[in-house]
Amino acid sequence: MALLTLAEAKKQLNITSDTDDDELQTYVDAVTPVIEEYIGPVEPREVTERLDAESGRRALVLRTTPVLSLTSVEPLLTGGITYPVDGLVLDPDTGEVRRRDGGWFRGLLLFTLQAGRTEVTPTVNLAARMLVQHLWRTQHPSRSGGLPGGGEDYSVGQPIPGFGYAVPNRVLELLAPYRLPPGSA
């Protein structure tokens, strides 16, 4: 599953030739980390995280969300406790993990998980296409066509902290319903 394909980007830009395919593929590849910085992993992948429960904790919160599944929870220190994943309860959106029996986690733990989404929603795909279009226009203004009178319909306005001027407000507005909760990375 890809956030955006080359064919989708070409359709968004009304490009019918193969002349710029290599360059355009670079743009397609570049938008994934930008969008995932805002909404978390889109394309499924394995992630490992180290979490500290040395003093004991009833719940731990994974930093990478959304979570598709937990694969394993292993101790990092010899003699530590292994927690079978079928004995855990996971909130995939917040990344909160609890023991099903209500017990405490203890020790330094290595979580292995599958993060990402089961599908790319049309809204997220549209945001990716619009971001490619915006970035393409910065390098190819003569081919991108603008508004009559030279106006620009991809104005960024005031930058969102952490995103600067590379991501237009309209892209961020499309992604807003999927935004990571505060404190997620």
The pLDDT tens digits of the residues spanning 9-25 come to: 999 999 999 999 999 99
Mean pLDDT of the chain: 87
CA distance 54 to 71: 21
Q: Which of 40, 41, 31 is nearest to 4 (CA)?
A: 31
What distance separates the 2 farthest-apart alpha carbons in the chain?
Answer: 71
* Range with the poorest average pLDDT among 30-44, 99-113, 140-154: 140-154
* Range with the poorest average pLDDT among 20-29, 46-55, 108-117, 146-155: 146-155
Q: Is 28 exposed, middle or buried (0-12, 13-18, 19+ CB in 10 A)?
A: buried
Higher-confidence residue of 146 and 68: namely 68
Count of CA atoms in the C-beta half-sphere (13 A) of 135? 20
How confident is the model at residue 184, as a pLDDT?
Answer: 56
pLDDT class for 183, splitting at 50, 70, 90? low
Count of CA atoms in the C-beta half-sphere (13 A) of 53? 29
Res 141 pLDDT > 80: no
